Amino acid sequence: MVIEDDPEPQPIDFDQDGNYDEWMAKEAEASSMIRLSSSTEVRHLVKGMRNCHAMWNTPQTNLDTARSYIGRQDILRQLHACRPKEDKPIKAYFTKLSNCHIELDHTDHAIIDQDSCTQLLTSL
């Protein structure tokens, strides 16, 4: 349902007796499952939606910060502001650097290894 493998039939389809009602029941069930298994933030995004395909794709387009220019700039800002903290293990610092790198990995603004090394050396 969420990847649209099962297209919506027409309400009046005399060749497919009861097909529309079946499809609508599956659509409602899939929508309910998405709504009930979502976080509060996602539920807010899909509020009022009935199409489970749209409900499935909306969080990705709205919450994927690496897709927007502002989101990518924020990730780069976090990378440049990242510093090891005395009260935290150094592993936490490396994890934060790695996460920034991974978030932008498949975008036009991917962080190259040279930038990661520069950030690492200047912040230590």
End-to-end CA, the chain: 50
Q: Assign 95 to helix, strand or coil.
A: helix
pTM of the model: 0.46
Task: Work out how many domains the chain is built from and give that number.
Answer: 2
Tens of pLDDT, residue by residue over 61-118, are 777 667 777 778 888 888 888 899 889 999 999 898 888 888 888 777 788 888 888 8
At residue 46 the predicted structure's pLDDT band, cuts being 50, 70 and 90, is confident
- The residue segments making up the domain with residue 38 are 19-63
Q: Quick check: 82 and 119 in contact, CB under 8 A?
A: yes
> Is there a domain that residue 8 lies in?
no
Share of the chain above pLDDT 70, in %: 85
Residues 24 and 58 in one domain: yes
At residue 2 the predicted structure's pLDDT band, cuts being 50, 70 and 90, is low
> Is there a domain that residue 2 lies in?
no
Alpha helices in the chain (DSSP H): 19-36, 40-46, 52-63, 69-81, 90-103, 113-123
Domain's final residue, options 11, 42, 63: 63
